[in-house]
Amino acid sequence: MSKKFIRTDAYEADVDQMWAMITNQDYWIAKYEAIGSTEVRWENFAASEDSFTYTSIRNVPADLPSFVKKVVGDTNTVTTTERWTRAGDAASATTDIRVKNVPGGTTGAMQITPAGKGSQWSFDFDTKVSLPLIGGKFEGVMTDQTGAQLTEEKAFNRRWLAGEV
């Protein structure tokens, strides 16, 4: 089994503005700092007019249940890879998120598409944790954490797009 996560966030900014944001490494650095990530390392960051790829490794603060902390350890170290492509009036991506010491992870797809005068950023993620008997509980925790983090990121994105950061 695995745990599905689907979400869509609306933005006043259009797709071009969203693309300009996500392909700017300063945005990621500022966002990670704003949401409390530490020890950020970049395995790669490559952006062009029609494609964008990055892999980051960072420690993510999270209020995790004790049974998860026992496995994850004192620091919640997360490796994220996103591969974006810009085609037509939309942008789409695959994502892969791994937590250190946890077998499995989150994979999925993202899309930024026009919506009215702005755009919408949609997420379709699947979390699978391969642990005997307790994998399902882990998947629930990781999915909740993903949702909480995306809510923080959305708030930051709006401030960035408004030029407040």
Partner 1 sequence: MRDNPLRELLGAITARDDAWTAVLGRLDELGRDDQTSVAGVQHDVGEYLEDTAALLDTLALAVEGGRVDWAEVLDAAHGYLGNPDDLVSDEQGVLGILDDAFVCRCLLRQAADAARQRQLTPPVQVDGLPAEQTVRQLLGVPVAATLEVAARQTVADLVQGWR
- 75 near partner 1, judged by CB under 8 A: no
Cα–Cα dist 2/108, whole Å:
12
- 43 near partner 1, judged by CB under 8 A: no
- 67 near partner 1, judged by CB under 8 A: yes
Q: Which stretch binds partner 1 (CB under 8 A): 34-42, 50-58, 63-71, 152-160?
A: 63-71
Among 87, 132, 163, 164, binds partner 1 (CB under 8 A): 132
Place of tokens 């974006």: 84
Count the Cβ atoms, other than its own, within 10 Å of residue 77: 18
- 104 near partner 1, judged by CB under 8 A: yes
- 101 near partner 1, judged by CB under 8 A: yes
Q: Give the full edge-to-edge strand order of the sheet including 90-99.
A: 3-11, 118-129, 104-115, 90-99, 77-87, 51-59, 38-47
